[in-house]
Structure 1
Amino acid sequence: MLLQFECLRKHLIFDKAYILQCYEREVFIGENRAKPKYYFEVSLKNFIVFHTEQDYFGFSIPYRGKLKLFHANSKKVRELKLLLSGKILFGDLNQFYLQKHQLGHGSFSYVNLLQNLETKEMVAAKFLSKQWKHKTNTERMKAIILKLFKGNNKRKQYSIIFESSKYNQNKRGL
């Protein structure tokens, strides 16, 4: 187990406490360790949304077609984000990155220069067109793009894949 902490689902009458357990390939959330209510695989097929105001206060995961919000200690939420970074899609990355300018474009994507709001580091992000998504297997292409980033270079590399459209400006990435 990589991380474990208590989180809270707020309800109208009674709030419910859960235990989150994060493993290398899966995350369980439940009242006890033996019988989790919520589960998701840590893969590029799934996503998580982190919530911030002054600091992190929670996260949401999809469950039966809706997003379920969990509140937790900001330090633990930050640890969860670091553990899942690069392994799962993040919802609405506008809260983590500031778009600087476009570096280039191609037939199915474009690359922008972004600044990480926490670390102030500059990263290049590739935005995939939703129109292109329907023409080919996007999951396969994402895997190919990620493999390009896995080199033996000694410098730090960041890989972020975004999906966007002219109607939906929310970005999802890793």
Structure 2
Amino acid sequence: MTSPEGQRGTIGVLHPDSGNITSICDALARLDRPYRLMREPDMDGIDQLLLPGQGRFGAVMRFLHRHGWVEVLRDWVAADRPLLGICVGMQVLFASSEEDEDPGLGIFPGRVELLRAPKRPMMGWVPITWRQGDLPPGTAYFVNSFVVHESEHAIATVTYGAPFAAAVARGNTIAFQFHPEKSGAWGKELLATCLI
């Protein structure tokens, strides 16, 4: 999709080789938001980037390296342009992960670790309360085995075995460990709030 003049900007949705991005594309279509699926960083006309998440940390990082995204994403964030990460898309913003040896983007300091819980993966609905900002409270859908247990950039935390960051933000970069696109009407409202 492209953005006609006078309408909201186009969202570039990175399309890693792993994972299903149908849910996020359907959510953007329901919000009537123009988007373009991207494997290569052709940034012409792109106003916001969305890094969706399914799959392994290492597989997503290898995709980003293979297609020339690593420096593009770092420069994008350094310029304080809007970026939204979801699930593994949040995790790769950190420096490293226990899941794979591949280094992360290092946009946020910290390490992604295995959930400290007796049952993994975590699957289900958990209430979200924001530490700051004016985002709407609601109940989010999680499906994950790896998390960031502590981050100075956390704007929401939940507990599953041990507390972890449910969302992080810095400047115009925001990322969710949960799936807003699978979190019902509240998730739709949250996406609409976070998209330019």
- What's the TM-score, normalizing by structure 1? 0.28
Q: By percentage of residues, which structure has more strand? A: 1
- What's the TM-score, normalizing by structure 2? 0.26
Q: By percentage of residues, which structure has more helix? A: 2
Q: Which has the larger radius of gyration?
A: 1
